[in-house]
Structure 1
Amino acid sequence: MDRPFRFAAVIREAESARAWAGKARRLEDSGFDVLLVPDHLVGPRFAPIAAITAAACATSRLRVGTLVVANDFRHPAVLAKEAATVDLLSEGRLELGLGTGWMAADYACAGLAFEPPGVRVDRLAEAIAVLKGLWADGPFTFHGEHYRITGLEQWPKPSRRPHPRLLLGGGGPRMLGLAAREADVINLGMRVRADGTGPDGTDGGLDAFLAKIDLVRRAAAGRYDRIELGTSVQQLGIRKQDEPWSAADSSRQDRTPQVLLGTHQDIVDKLRYWRDTHDLSYFVLHHERDLDAFIPVVEELAGH
């Protein structure tokens, strides 16, 4: 595949509506393609649907999306209507990221049942079927283990047909298999610990990352060429050409595209390598604190 680079940034909050709009416009003006908002019940983060709607209203080209909506927090019939409305009002600029919900603290603080990963993945698979069914034309009926929909037809329909672009993220084999079958964009990450306390440290490193790409390629079969592969940049360190680099700034992920260390040219070359050799073309800046340093990379590569 020879896809152009696309870049997104996760933006979590701002001190005012004006500041939020300014952040969205800055991404648009710098060549970023997407503004993404996470979905957690705890911590200093905006609610995603309201936040991406405001970002869409403040911009004209910038796509807006989620990384990722926690399926356990919303019934898919509710999300389908909200997402279709955002997509219509933004003229097709929604990129809806979906996940199971994973952070145990969200569930504990809100009194929600935190079920095993397999149950949450099965429920997400059903939710995707419901979303796509409700975005299609005509009444939709679905009777699954987790959701029952009977003769429901919703309006508005999304602007983008047959549905908004779907992003699925994850690192475990079941999530990646589901993403390979259903997603338009896949954000490759580390597997999350079953207890919901963070990434599984045993799942790091280059070999594990390459194995995930291979899993997606095999599971996607004939639709692989239609999938946009990407990952989140978790660590960024750009230094001047003659500036020394400390070994302490490295990590187990430093051979993957999730860690970008070196000069501007080193990072540009590394991203080109992962695109040209391993098909990754969609990169998400995970920390807003790195925005100033990353913008020159985006300006050089976006769309190429």
Structure 2
Amino acid sequence: MPELILRLPTRQPPARGLGPVATDVRAGLYGPLEHLFQTGRAAEIAGLGGVLAPDDPGGEEPWTVAAGALRHSRHLRVVAEFSPSFATPVYAAKVSATLQRAAGGRLGWRVAVGGDPAARAAQGDTVTGPDAFRRAAEFLTAAKGVWHQRPYTFEGDFYRVLDGGFGHPLAGHPFPTVYLSGTGEAELDLSAEHADVHLVRFGADLDAVRAALADRASAHGREVRLGVELSLSVRQTGRDDGPPEGVTGHWDGFAGLGHTVPEGLVGTPDELAAELDRLAGRGVDTFVVEATPALPEAYRLGEHVLPALEALAAREASGAR
């Protein structure tokens, strides 16, 4: 059964109030991030595997969102997306060790490498091209080193760690699950050495990516799981907030709905489950899903798509015996 991870909205809907009708001078019952935490709770209640707190330069800070989502849930995996420019690998590892202690090992990392150079520069990050991938490799090497070894020393071009490493109470917790992405040579090389899950966009050549990744990962004595990032819309009658009528199956127009991921699937729960099951049959075990509006879509995915997907998996398992 593949895991579904819901992408949290990067920006909150406008606040709704009573306007000039009435004024409540008390502090608000719900803080400005409550909508995001409600979406995370909906994903957990609905039975989804996790949520992703995206790295959006114009949106909420992903580590803060991830920490809140972990605090507001009991079983949900929460993935924080960030660039290596966020912090030193030692500080990122220390923050994560504390979160792992507090949340029972449910934190994941999605390390964002590359992207629009202008957008990165606006965030103070001017490392681009091959250097960005070399820095990411050093970041992950050093972060894992201080996590698992003490004392630990690392000498690189971007980072130096001298006699580092964690003791009590930070030592001994599981390192965050690492998600990386892309189809280029540099992306695949980085994932082969460091990723637990390698993500590709919907529509990528899965067979080619899987073969190339397996060859590279075997050189490091590792195996890397394969995931797909896509948008989903559960087609139901009486909805006016989804794709236009008549759109079904594969659709690349999700950007028009405000999605970050433009490619994805539109269909009934059974149709979506069949497509996800088909991809699972090709070695995909993780789906990072964008759906709008995220909170009600979390419930639709859990109440309608997951049961259909579980039924397909059960039928296939019984047929294989």
TM range (shorter): 0.7 to 0.9
Say yes or no: does 1:219 pair with 2:207. Answer: no
Kindly indicate whether the alpha-carbon contact (under 8 Å) linking 1:176 and 1:215 is maintained by their aligned counterparts in 2. Answer: yes
Say yes or no: does 1:282 pair with 2:286. Answer: yes
Kindly indicate whether the alpha-carbon contact (under 8 Å) linking 1:217 and 1:224 is maintained by their aligned counterparts in 2. Answer: no
Hey, what does 1:297 align to over in structure 2? 305
Q: Distance in 1 between matches of 2:248 and 2:305?
A: 23
Aligned pair partner of 1:77 in 74, 90, 114: 90
Shift of 1:143: 0.4
Hey, what does 1:20 align to over in structure 2? 36
Give CA-to-partner distance per residue, 1:51-81, whole Å, 9 cap, x none: 1111111111111112x21112322111111
1:145 maps to a residue whose letter is D
Shift of 1:297: 1.2
Aligned length: 275
| Shift in alpha-carbon separation, 1:219–1:284, aligned structure 2, 3 A | same
Hey, what does 2:195 align to over in structure 1? 183
Hey, what does 2:72 align to over in structure 1? 58
| Shift in alpha-carbon separation, 1:225–1:73, aligned structure 2, 3 A | closer
Shift of 1:252: 10
Say yes or no: does 1:270 pair with 2:258. Answer: no
Runs of 4+ with >6 A deviation: 222-225
Hey, what does 1:202 align to over in structure 2? none
Shift of 1:166: 1.4
1:294 maps to a residue whose letter is L
Hey, what does 1:86 align to over in structure 2? 99
Partner SS, residue 157 of structure 1: coil
Q: Which stretch of structure 1 is more off in the superposition, 179-188 or 259-268?
A: 259-268
Q: Which stretch of structure 1 is more off in the superposition, 54-63 or 175-184?
A: 175-184
CA RMSD, 1 decimal: 3.1
| Shift in alpha-carbon separation, 1:85–1:182, aligned structure 2, 3 A | same
Q: Distance in 2 between matches of 1:265 and 1:139?
A: 53
Partner SS, residue 293 of structure 2: helix
Q: Distance in 1 between matches of 2:267 and 2:138?
A: 43
Give CA-to-partner distance per residue, 1:16-53, whole Å, 9 cap, x none: 3443332221110011111111123x21x221112111
Q: Normalized against structure 2, the TM-score is what?
A: 0.75
Shift of 1:140: 1.0
Which runs of no fewer than 5 residues in structure 1 stay unpaired? 191-204
| Shift in alpha-carbon separation, 1:111–1:160, aligned structure 2, 3 A | closer
Hey, what does 1:198 align to over in structure 2? none
| Shift in alpha-carbon separation, 1:160–1:284, aligned structure 2, 3 A | same
Q: Distance in 1 between matches of 2:95 and 2:61?
A: 13
1:146 maps to a residue whose letter is F
Shift of 1:246: 4.2
Q: Normalized against structure 1, the TM-score is what?
A: 0.79
Q: Distance in 1 between matches of 2:117 and 2:247?
A: 35
1:170 maps to a residue whose letter is G
Shift of 1:238: 2.9
Percent identical across equivalent pairs? 22
Aligned pair partner of 1:172 in 180, 184, 191: 184
Partner SS, residue 188 of structure 1: strand
Q: Distance in 2 between matches of 1:6 and 1:24?
A: 15
Shift of 1:268: 1.0
| Shift in alpha-carbon separation, 1:185–1:139, aligned structure 2, 3 A | same
| Shift in alpha-carbon separation, 1:59–1:159, aligned structure 2, 3 A | farther
Q: Distance in 1 between matches of 2:276 and 2:140?
A: 31
Hey, what does 1:112 align to over in structure 2? 125
Partner SS, residue 273 of structure 1: helix
Which runs of no fewer than 5 residues in structure 2 stay unpaired? 13-30, 238-243, 255-262, 314-321
